[in-house]
């Protein structure tokens, strides 16, 4: 049942009464911003995503008696192309902004096709669902029409990777382009000419954006590298095309650079390098709010040394940033962050690959010498510090790694992360020179994630909002709550899998590189299981899975989806694992499917009937209450039960009232129970959240203050 946005009311469910008159004791909400992994569930109502974040932060703060203040993070929780079904895409013209800004040599040959390969999963997903794909990209910084910046040299490689012939347009707007779009078959791909040949692109002129938008029915942004720019093809077109959603690459970038950093597995370490403090101020300040360990390297360390009164010889120093360096050291100490500077450095008598070099303590750099790399003792100290971590993000080299003599420190860090990644440590390479470093060492494929963005990665790590992401459609509110609770590797239960959107969203929240994440999804209707299986087949991309297979075991009521992952350019560790289990059984039996000794981090209910099916077949109050009782027994401390109750259909309001009574009777010393409902839309769905308190959170440490 559809409804429009209305004023939501968030209330703690009272213990003794469920009267609306007494149930609206509102919790105050701070003015926070929120950065989320991309949730995918498509509910049939709209609400304020930020409001749900406030709920989630309140639940986390109330959920533990020793919880400190929750940390606000900047963000965007957006819809993804994974939300769109085959019916949404088949025969539709889809404008896809990709980042094909690849380097070309003097003969117009591609020297690095990483960004082209990164764009392939989204394009294949779209053509596989019968969409007519219109690709838009920039190349270089042209001043008007410049032949050497034409996208024509990219067509052969793009066609090869897609396995189809890509059609190239000579322009990006105009009658000839419109004719090519009109002749595009289902599953066909048209590459527009360099969008920056028009100055209106970077000026984000509405008329130009409108002309681009007129070519298509919907919009997908998969160009993370330009998401920090408000250009016509990244931001302007969203005003004229709906839906406007994130592509698989953009979604993955947000998953890692946002999700894993804002809610990391701990201990969480950040490695920041580069030549200047000034270029990394925002990143360092932001990471000090989130990490447990901060390792600094590169040319910036000499500004910190001089701020401490040490001699730095002729090393690079930003004199106007000495006070800032001192304040950052003090801030780290106040925050309880272990900030490590190199204890020794490799110095040189000149800035050149053939310079004379030697290793000295960081406190003994002689005049006339400059530091160009971290020393062997520092490499060991840094490696030891990383040994116990669960999440590591790296941005910036440790030295002048372009010179082999001064690349040892950077290569050592790359090899250390390559050693940790197969052990289950989430390793994220945050764009820029760090990417070049891991590729040079040959360990890029081992990392959990390598960002394709340069400036966009930095701005995201700084906590800034990206215009190209902000412009996209908002994600489902209840999924925003989930992402505050669920982490990679968790076990979660979709108690009513329906058409599979919740199952898919949960899969993307819990699946990690070691195969520890699990989603158990349940439904009595065969149609629901088939819908869910089909959605997973369509939406889990080639870089994430090799194949999915639906098998029915001897037990008639058990279905399994086996998902295999392969080593890909995105760095997933080759492993075969079972990520999703689909059970054709009543959700009252969920205790039977959870392994002995295991607990669930989240149990999600979506009550009512299956959309598009027999409305007489729906969840019933009696079995829902029994299922909720079972959920309370298998839920982990700090876990969450979420219930979306549809009150507009026959029996729906009574079922909701029963759920509300159940929640109201839970002991307040063990549970925090809240609901969200629209005061001026009485038939809108109501969300009930039951958070299990814990003195010590067995899953995640509390956020840093």
DSSP 633-684: HHEEEEEEEEEEE--SSTTHHHHHHHHHHHHHTS-TTTEEEEEEEETT-TTS
Task: Tell me: do 453 and 547 sit in the same domain.
Answer: no
Q: Which one is catalytic: 140, 424, 455, 515?
A: 455
Q: pLDDT higher for 5 or 106?
A: 106
**Out of 28-32, 359-363, 541-545, least confident range:** 28-32
Q: Which one is catalytic: 60, 115, 196, 416?
A: 115
**Cα–Cα distance between 179 and 138 in angstroms, integer?**
22
Closest CA to 243 of 475, 538, 51: 475
Q: Is 571 a catalytic residue?
A: no
Q: What is the mean pLDDT of residues 140-162?
A: 97
Task: Tell me: do 376 and 229 sit in the same domain.
Answer: no
Residue 20 predicted with pLDDT over 60: no
User: Cβ neighbours of residue 18 under 8 Å, at least 6 residues apart?
Assistant: 657, 660, 661, 664
Residue 178 predicted with pLDDT over 50: yes
* CATH code at position 519: 3.40.50.150
Residue 50 lies in a domain: no
* CATH code at position 176: 3.40.50.1260
| Residue 226 pLDDT class (50, 70, 90 cuts) | very high
Q: Count up the domains in the chain and report the number.
A: 3
Its pTM stands at: 0.65
Task: Tell me: do 237 and 290 sit in the same domain.
Answer: no
pLDDT at 647: 85
**Contact yes or no for 83/505 (Cβ under 8 A):** no
644-676 pLDDT per residue, tens: 998 877 788 899 999 999 999 999 999 999 998
**Cα–Cα distance between 28 and 30 in angstroms, integer?**
7
pLDDT at 63: 40
Task: Tell me: do 204 and 271 sit in the same domain.
Answer: no
Task: Tell me: do 86 and 230 sit in the same domain.
Answer: yes
Tokens describing residue 63: 């959920």
Residue 698 lies in a domain: no
Closest CA to 101 of 90, 86, 88, 112: 112
**Out of 51-55, 305-309, 497-501, 576-580, least confident range:** 51-55
What proportion of the chain, given as a percentage, has pLDDT over 70?
80
User: Cβ neighbours of residue 87 under 8 Å, at least 6 residues apart?
Assistant: none
Residue 531 lies in a domain: yes
Residue 697 lies in a domain: no
Q: Which one is catalytic: 276, 331, 577, 653?
A: 276
Domain ends where: 465, 487, 504?
465
Mean pLDDT over all residues of the chain? 82
Alpha-helix runs per DSSP H in 76-174: 86-89, 114-128, 155-162
Q: pLDDT higher for 660 or 29?
A: 660
DSSP three-state, residue 629? helix
Residue 187 lies in a domain: yes
Q: What is the mean pLDDT of residues 155-179?
A: 98
pLDDT at 650: 76
Q: Which one is catalytic: 371, 432, 468, 608?
A: 432
582-612 pLDDT per residue, tens: 999 999 999 999 999 999 999 999 998 887 6
pLDDT at 468: 94
**Out of 67-71, 483-487, 540-544, 678-682, least confident range:** 67-71
**Contact yes or no for 295/385 (Cβ under 8 A):** yes
Q: pLDDT higher for 543 or 421?
A: 421
Task: Tell me: do 112 and 246 sit in the same domain.
Answer: yes
Neighbours of 167 (CB within 10 A): 17
Closest CA to 192 of 173, 213, 165, 211: 173
Tell me how far apart the 2 most distant CA atoms of the chain are, in Å.
85
Q: Which of 194-198, 255-259, 559-563 has the highest mean pLDDT?
A: 194-198
Residue 255 lies in a domain: no
pLDDT at 54: 46
**Cα–Cα distance between 271 and 297 in angstroms, integer?**
8
Q: What is the mean pLDDT of residues 420-447?
A: 90
**Contact yes or no for 365/313 (Cβ under 8 A):** yes
Task: Tell me: do 121 and 244 sit in the same domain.
Answer: yes
Residue 7 predicted with pLDDT over 60: no
Residue environment code for 148-160, b if the CB has 16+ CB neighbours within 10 A, otherwise e? ebbbebbbebbbe
Q: Is 432 a catalytic residue?
A: yes
CA 535 to chain centre: 20
Q: What is the mean pLDDT of residues 226-238?
A: 96
Question: DSSP labels for 369-402?
Answer: -EEEEE-HHHHHHHHHHHTT-SEEEEES-SS-TT
Task: Tell me: do 493 and 371 sit in the same domain.
Answer: no
Q: Is 276 a catalytic residue?
A: yes
Domain ends where: 436, 465, 494?
465
Domain ends where: 222, 250, 278?
250
| Residue 193 pLDDT class (50, 70, 90 cuts) | very high
Task: Tell me: do 142 and 216 sit in the same domain.
Answer: yes
Strands 671-678 and 8-12: antiparallel
Residue 282 lies in a domain: yes
Task: Tell me: do 343 and 402 sit in the same domain.
Answer: yes
Residue 404 lies in a domain: yes
Residue environment code for 260-272, b if the CB has 16+ CB neighbours within 10 A, otherwise e? bbbbbbbbbbbbb
Task: Tell me: do 278 and 244 sit in the same domain.
Answer: no
Tokens describing residue 667: 């002991």
Closest CA to 586 of 635, 529, 642, 525: 525
pLDDT at 11: 54
pLDDT at 194: 98
Q: What is the mean pLDDT of residues 349-372?
A: 97
Domain of residue 161, residue span? 81-250
Task: Tell me: do 521 and 587 sit in the same domain.
Answer: yes
Residue 399 predicted with pLDDT over 80: yes
| Residue 12 pLDDT class (50, 70, 90 cuts) | low
Q: Which of 195-199, 277-281, 448-452 has the highest mean pLDDT?
A: 195-199
**Contact yes or no for 536/40 (Cβ under 8 A):** no
Q: pLDDT higher for 10 or 420?
A: 420
pLDDT at 436: 87
């Amino acid at each position: 049942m559809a409804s429009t946005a209305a004023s939501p009311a968030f209330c703690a469910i009272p213990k003794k009464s469920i009267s609306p008159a007494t149930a609206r004791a509102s919790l105050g909400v701070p003015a926070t911003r929120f950065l989320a992994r991309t949730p995918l569930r498509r509910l049939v109502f709209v609400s304020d995503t930020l409001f749900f974040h406030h709920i989630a932060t309140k639940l986390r703060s109330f959920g533990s008696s020793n919880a400190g203040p929750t940390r606000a993070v900047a963000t965007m929780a957006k819809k993804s192309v994974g939300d769109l079904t085959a019916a949404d895409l088949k025969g539709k013209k889809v404008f896809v902004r990709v980042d094909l800004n690849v380097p070309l040599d003097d003969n117009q040959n591609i020297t690095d096709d990483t960004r082209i390969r990164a764009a392939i999963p989204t394009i294949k997903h779209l053509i596989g669902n019968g969409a007519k794909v219109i690709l838009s990209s920039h190349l270089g910084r042209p001043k008007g029409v410049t032949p050497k910046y034409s996208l024509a040299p990219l067509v052969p490689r793009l066609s090869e990777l897609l396995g189809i012939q890509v059609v190239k347009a000579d322009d990006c707007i105009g009658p000839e382009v419109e004719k090519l779009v009109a002749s595009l078959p289902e599953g066909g791909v048209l590459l527009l000419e360099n969008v920056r040949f028009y100055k209106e692109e970077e000026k984000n002129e509405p008329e130009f954006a409108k002309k681009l938008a007129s070519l298509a029915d919907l919009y997908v942004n998969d160009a993370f590298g330009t998401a920090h720019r408000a250009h016509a093809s990244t931001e302007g077109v969203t005003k004229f095309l709906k839906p406007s959603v994130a592509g698989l690459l953009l979604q993955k970038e947000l998953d890692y650079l946002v999700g894993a950093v804002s809610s990391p597995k701990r201990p969480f370490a950040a490695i920041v390098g580069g030549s200047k403090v000034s270029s990394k101020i925002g990143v360092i300040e932001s990471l000090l709010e989130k990490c447990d360990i901060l390792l600094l390297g590169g040319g910036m360390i000499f500004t910190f040394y001089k701020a401490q009164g040490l001699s730095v010889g002729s090393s690079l120093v930003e004199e106007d940033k000495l006070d800032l360096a001192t304040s950052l050291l003090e801030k780290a100490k106040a925050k309880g962050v272990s900030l490590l500077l190199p204890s020794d450095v490799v110095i040189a008598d000149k800035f050149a690959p053939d310079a004379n070099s030697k290793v000295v303590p960081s406190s003994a750099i002689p005049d006339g010498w400059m530091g160009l790399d971290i020393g062997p003792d520092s490499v060991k100290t840094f490696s030891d510090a990383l040994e116990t971590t669960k999440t590591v993000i790296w941005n910036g080299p440790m030295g002048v790694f372009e010179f082999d003599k001064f690349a040892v420190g950077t290569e050592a860090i790359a090899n250390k992360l390559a050693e940790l990644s197969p052990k289950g440590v989430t390793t994220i390479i945050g764009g820029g020179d760090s990417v070049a470093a891991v590729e040079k060492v040959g360990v890029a494929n081992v990392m959990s994630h390598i960002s394709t963005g340069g400036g966009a990665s930095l701005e995201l790590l700084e906590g800034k909002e990206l215009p190209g992401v902000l412009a996209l459609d908002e994600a489902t509110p209840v999924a925003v709550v989930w992402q505050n609770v669920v982490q990679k590797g968790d076990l979660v239960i979709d108690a009513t899998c329906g058409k599979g959107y919740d199952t898919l969203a949960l899969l993307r929240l819990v699946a990690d590189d070691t195969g520890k994440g699990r989603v158990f999804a349940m439904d009595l209707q065969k149609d629901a299981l088939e819908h869910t299986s089909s959605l997973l087949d369509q939406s889990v991309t080639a870089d994430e899975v090799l194949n999915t297979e639906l098998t029915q075991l001897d037990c008639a009521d058990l279905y399994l989806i086996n998902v295999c992952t392969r080593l890909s350019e995105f760095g997933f560790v080759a492993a075969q694992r079972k990520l999703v289990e689909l059970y054709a059984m009543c959700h009252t039996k969920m205790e039977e499917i959870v392994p002995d000794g295991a607990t669930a981090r989240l149990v999600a209910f979506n009550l009512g009937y299956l959309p598009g099916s027999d409305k007489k077949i729906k969840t019933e109050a009696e079995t829902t209450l029994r299922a909720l009782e079972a959920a309370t027994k298998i839920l982990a401390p700090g876990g969450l039960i979420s219930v979306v109750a549809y009150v507009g259909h026959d029996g729906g309001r009574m079922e909701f009232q029963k759920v509300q009574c159940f929640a109201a009777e839970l002991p307040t010393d063990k549970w925090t129970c809240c609901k969200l409902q629209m005061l001026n839309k009485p038939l809108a769905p109501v969300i009930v959240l039951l958070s299990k308190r814990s003195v010590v959170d067995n899953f995640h440490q509390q956020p840093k203050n």
